[in-house]
Amino acid sequence: MTSAHRSRYRSWTVWLGRLRVMTVKEFIQLFRDRVLIAFMLYAFTLEVFLAGSGVSFELRNAQVLVHDADHSAASRELIHRFQPPHFRIIGEVFDQQRAIELLDKGEAMIVLDIPPKFEESLLRGRPASVQMQVDTANPILGFLASSYAERIVAQFGLEISARRHGLSGNRLQAAPVLSAEQRVWFNPNQNDAWFMSVVEMLNLVTMFAILLPAAAMAREKERGTIEQLLVSPLTPFEIMVPKIVSMTAVILLGILVTIFVILKPCFGVPFRGSLGLFMGISALYVFTTAGLGLILASIAHNLTQVGMLAALIFVPMVFLSGAWTPPENMPVVLQAVSVVSPLHHYINASLGIMLRGNGLDLLWDSVLGIAIFGAVTFGIGIARFRRQFS
- Residue pLDDT, tens place only, 34-84: 888 899 999 999 999 988 887 667 788 888 989 888 888 888 988 899 988
The residue ranking higher by pLDDT, 19 or 245, is 245
Angle at 199 between CA 249 and CA 244, to 5 degrees: 20
The answer on pLDDT for 1 being more than 60 is no
Write down the pTM of the prediction.
0.80
The answer on pLDDT for 253 being more than 90 is yes
The answer on pLDDT for 19 being more than 70 is yes
Average pLDDT over residues 241-253: 88
Average pLDDT over residues 271-296: 89
User: Residue 246: what are its φ and ψ, rounded to 5°?
Assistant: -65, -45
Distances (CA, A) of 130 to 104, 113, 150: 20, 6, 10
Structure confidence at residue 170 (pLDDT): 59
The residue ranking higher by pLDDT, 7 or 64, is 64
Structure confidence at residue 165 (pLDDT): 67
Give the span between the Cα atoms of 221 and 226, in whole angstroms: 6
The answer on pLDDT for 172 being more than 60 is no
- The one-character DSSP state at 307 is H
Structure confidence at residue 261 (pLDDT): 93
Q: What is the mean pLDDT of the chain?
A: 83
Structure confidence at residue 173 (pLDDT): 59
The residue ranking higher by pLDDT, 374 or 284, is 284
Average pLDDT over residues 202-230: 81
The residue ranking higher by pLDDT, 29 or 274, is 274
Structure confidence at residue 388 (pLDDT): 66
**Closest by alpha carbon to 360, among 280, 296, 260, 294?**
280
At what angle are helices 275-299 and 192-223 packed, to 10 degrees?
Answer: 40
How far is C-alpha 314 from the geometric centre of its chain's CA atoms? 13
pLDDT tens digits for range 71-123 = 888 889 888 999 888 898 888 888 878 888 888 888 888 889 988 888 888 88
Structure confidence at residue 44 (pLDDT): 94
Structure confidence at residue 291 (pLDDT): 82
